[in-house]
Amino acid sequence: MKRFNNNEKFLSLRTKFDYFEYQSYKFKLSNEVLIIEFNFNLSNKYFFNPKLEVPLRSFYNGEIDKIPNLKNIVFHLGMIELVSYWKLACPQKIIIRPHTLNSQQTNWWKKLYFNGLGEFFYLNSIETNENEFVEIISEGDQTKILDADLNFDKVIVPIGGGKDSVVSLELLRNSSFEVLPMMINPSPAGKRTIENAGFLLEDSIVVKRFLDKKMLELNEEGFLNGHTPFSAMLAFVNVLTAIISGIGNIALSNENSANESTVPGTNINHQYSKSFEFEQDFDFYVKKYIHPKVNYFSFLRPLNELQIANLFSRFPKHFNTFRSCNVGSKKDEWCGNCPKCLFVYTILSPFIDRKKLNGIFGKDLFDDTSLKPILMELSGNSAIKPFECVGTINEVNAALARSIKESSENKDRALLFIDELSYLNQNNEIENILGEFNEDNNLPQKFLNILKSALDD
């Protein structure tokens, strides 16, 4: 991905815009919808008013806007939402007006902002560090911890429409847990995922997120732009939905592979807010400052991408309806030309027939020579991995090695990689990876048992 030399622009904007202010938040119940709004101020020159809407469902707890201390989680939603607007000019100070943060909270947010913006800083060639990039100043009263009752026989499963959330939803819907799918701004693929699994949209948790158009206009005008930690936003939104629905478990679908840095030798990780480090930090923060009993964990954390691909291959009803391609998301299609498409094609190739894969993606991605530069990045033969949610270099190479072996046996040369990657170990590396189980996870025992049982089938 192209890097821009925007460090001088970064310094210039910080001089022109010296503070960013989180002014206020509010929420109300109107026409069967919980409406949440935030007010942000960029140095008294630009003002932003993003919002969230949560349509009511029968399983929510009565008058959800009357839940004691609900403003705690609403305030924290603003804390993660603000980073998308702060990054426009990266002011030296962030002023938090609604509530006071103690030093531990302040340091927690600085860590999230800095690491969650790691890709943004890297691709804009911004030179800064965690201590100096921003100062957070807060005032107001302290928030009070929530104590809403929670049911731990139920689980919220966020759905994005890709293979990972398909696996989580299918495994958990056949368990003893009552499952509620959850989506932010539901995509067509997300809707198909829940429908294929036997759920209805009106019986699922739906949240609508509205960005302030002024931010998009400023991006067009040349203000700084780049990746923000969306998964952290998703995490806080899911805590909100857990509290208003009284559900104690939030089961994400982030795998062990998300821990690998995008830029080798650094902490720069496109998937930082999907990493186990963030998961642990978030679980600690929520239990100490928001609700002491919410279980936030990734159901697939013990697994790698190859294991997830293997499990996904058991659910053919999802083959032609799942999507992960960001480039083709607006058209609800696989573009067939991006790192995400090539990665998913590659990781599924050991488990799904080549002809079926070609039908899913619309062509044979292993026979498209224009994808060679992307393949070099995915396989570790370039300086960096793609800035996408993709698996580890070892996982990719194990899948490629299996495909090379099968192509050779079938005398069907995979033109894209057969020569460049002929050095790959073609023995049993994939079998070793499929036998792994990462013990660094936060899964409650009942969820661990479900996952281990699925792997043993």
The mean pLDDT of 363-392, rounded to a whole number, is: 83
Lowest-confidence segment of 118-127, 221-230, 417-426 by average pLDDT = 417-426
pLDDT reported for residue 101: 97
Confidence of residue 384 (pLDDT cuts 50, 70, 90): confident
pLDDT digits (tens, 9 = 90+) for 125-163: 999 999 999 999 999 999 999 888 899 999 999 999 999
Asked if pLDDT for residue 91 goes beyond 80, the answer is yes
What phi and psi values does residue 391 have, to the nearest 5 degrees? -80, -175
Name the one residue in this structure whose structure tokens are 């998703």: 234
The mean pLDDT of 52-68, rounded to a whole number, is: 85
pLDDT reported for residue 200: 94
CA neighbours within 13 Å on the CB side: how many for 113? 28
pLDDT reported for residue 148: 84
Give the three-class secondary structure for 184: strand
Confidence of residue 416 (pLDDT cuts 50, 70, 90): low
Asked if pLDDT for residue 415 goes beyond 60, the answer is no
Contacts of 323 by beta carbon, 8 Å cutoff, 6+ apart = 161, 162, 187, 188, 189, 329, 332, 333, 334
C-alpha closest to that of 121 among 239, 269, 15, 299: 269
Average pLDDT, the chain: 90
Name the one residue in this structure whose structure tokens are 């009263």: 141
pLDDT digits (tens, 9 = 90+) for 306-319: 999 999 999 999 99
Per-residue burial over 31-70, b if 16 or more Cβ lie within 10 Å, else e, is: eeebbbbbbbbbeeebebebbbebeebebbeeebbebebb
Asked if pLDDT for residue 24 goes beyond 90, the answer is yes
The mean pLDDT of 211-229, rounded to a whole number, is: 95
Per-residue burial over 195-226, b if 16 or more Cβ lie within 10 Å, else e, is: ebbebeeeebbbbebeebebbeebeeeebbbb
Confidence of residue 425 (pLDDT cuts 50, 70, 90): low
The mean pLDDT of 238-247, rounded to a whole number, is: 95
The encoded tokens of residue 314 equal: 């058991």
CA distance 25 to 36: 7
The encoded tokens of residue 398 equal: 């194990």
Taking CA atoms, 121 is separated from 15, 191, 268, 272, 306, in Å, by: 18, 34, 9, 13, 30
pLDDT reported for residue 426: 56
Lowest-confidence segment of 169-173, 326-330, 356-360 by average pLDDT = 326-330
- State the CB neighbour count (10 A cutoff) for residue 279: 24
The mean pLDDT of 91-103, rounded to a whole number, is: 97
Task: Yes or no: say if 326 and 340 are a contact pair by the CB < 8 Å rule.
Answer: yes
The mean pLDDT of 416-425, rounded to a whole number, is: 62
| pLDDT greater at residue 105 or residue 375 | 105
The domain spans of the chain are: 7-147+205-298, 325-434
Q: Which amino acid is at 338?
A: C
Give the three-class secondary structure for 442: coil
Instruction: Tell me the DSSP string of 161-182.
Output: SSHHHHHHHHHHHTSSSEEEEE
Per cent of the chain over pLDDT 90 is 70
pLDDT digits (tens, 9 = 90+) for 266-287: 787 778 898 999 999 999 999 9
pLDDT reported for residue 410: 60
The mean pLDDT of 234-255, rounded to a whole number, is: 95
pLDDT reported for residue 424: 65
pLDDT digits (tens, 9 = 90+) for 285-342: 999 999 999 999 999 999 999 999 999 999 999 999 999 888 878 899 999 889 999 9
pLDDT reported for residue 267: 81
pLDDT digits (tens, 9 = 90+) for 428-441: 578 889 999 999 99
pLDDT reported for residue 413: 53
pLDDT reported for residue 1: 63
Helices (runs of H) and strands (runs of E) counted in the chain: 17, 11
Asked if pLDDT for residue 380 goes beyond 90, the answer is no
Asked if pLDDT for residue 257 goes beyond 80, the answer is no
